[in-house]
Amino acid sequence: MTARLRRYVPFATSGLQSLLQYRSMFAMTAMTAAAGAAVTVFLWRAVYEGTPGRGPGGFTVAEITTYLLVAQILQVLHSNRVDDEVAAEVYRGDVAVMLVRPVSYPVMRFFACLPVVGANAVLVGLPVLGLFALIVPLSAPRPADLLLFALSTALSVLLAFCVNLLTGMTGFLTTNTWGVRMVKQSVVAFFAGQLVPIALMPGPLAALATALPFRGMVDGPLTLLLGRYDGWAGAAGLLAQQLAWVAGLSLLCAALWRAALGRLEVLGG
């Protein structure tokens, strides 16, 4: 680990210590995620239940159940609170204090969100997955697909960080980002394939969703998990698309961050 990266470790460790002070929050998040997953999963299972073999989109009942359940868990992993915290620090003027430190604010925010992602995966995602595995039959992935899914999920976390950072930076333009965050949440949930798999969307809408970066947050990882890709070239194409969007959004974040600093005004003393 280089000395430059070592500067950011305290932000990750302090974030983890802060999270562990509010362990009951994870229980509430798990219950909320389980309730949301139950509504979605059982609604779609009812749609597929009477269909022999593969139903709409080429999903079996077990595959659509796995897709929707893991989509809910991925949404929990993407809730890293970066948009909320960046907007709040801009609004309160706390971001000015961060700027005098010898660290990059966006990189610091990335390290600070890592404990949130890890804790959500272990304390929310795994229990919810285990609970539903006892209730409904799920599709068992092949080991190679599971490995591709893990790699794709890591890229989806990076995509979610970039999208949330861009959303938080709208705080430089408006004093209240609540509406922006609500719009972002709805747009991402729809075009990522979290609510409706992209395979079930009409042709033009599916083409638009496939071209947008949000696909790499949910539909991309699940396509790999369920083995719905066209050979190794298809899997590599999905990962390459995710990687390209991560690079593109990272550059966009860096450019907009530099531009946003020129608009920063902090009042008070």
Predicted pLDDT at 222: 95
3-state class (DSSP) for residue 247: helix
Integer Cα distance of 4 and 73 in angstroms: 33
- Answer whether residue 62 shows pLDDT above 70: yes
* 107-125 residue pLDDT tens: 888 988 888 888 889 888 9
Which of 158-167, 234-243, 253-262 is predicted least confidently? 253-262
Predicted pLDDT at 102: 79
Predicted pLDDT at 151: 95
Instruction: Tell me if 139 sits within 8 A of 228, measured CB to CB.
Output: no
Q: Name the residue with higher pLDDT: 52 or 130.
A: 130
pLDDT band at 266 (very low <50, low <70, confident <90, very high): low
- Answer whether residue 145 shows pLDDT above 70: yes
- When pLDDT is averaged across residues 140-152 and rounded to a whole number, the result is 93
- Answer whether residue 50 shows pLDDT above 80: no
- When pLDDT is averaged across residues 33-50 and rounded to a whole number, the result is 86
* 21-38 residue pLDDT tens: 777 788 888 888 889 889
DSSP string for 16-58 = HHHHHTTTHHHHHHHHHHHHHHHHHHHHHHHHHHT--SS-GGG
Count of H-run helices and E-run strands, the chain = 13, 0
Alpha carbons within 13 A on the beta-carbon side of 255 = 6
Integer Cα distance of 115 and 124 in angstroms: 13
Q: Which two tokens stand for residue 126?
A: 């795994």
pLDDT band at 224 (very low <50, low <70, confident <90, very high): very high
Instruction: Tell me if 103 sits within 8 A of 140, measured CB to CB.
Output: no
- The reported pTM is 0.89
Q: Name the residue with higher pLDDT: 223 or 45.
A: 223
Instruction: Tell me if 60 sits within 8 A of 197, measured CB to CB.
Output: no
3-state class (DSSP) for residue 174: coil
Predicted pLDDT at 265: 66
Integer Cα distance of 132 and 138 in angstroms: 8
Instruction: Tell me if 212 sits within 8 A of 244, measured CB to CB.
Output: no
* 182-209 residue pLDDT tens: 898 899 999 998 888 998 888 899 999 9
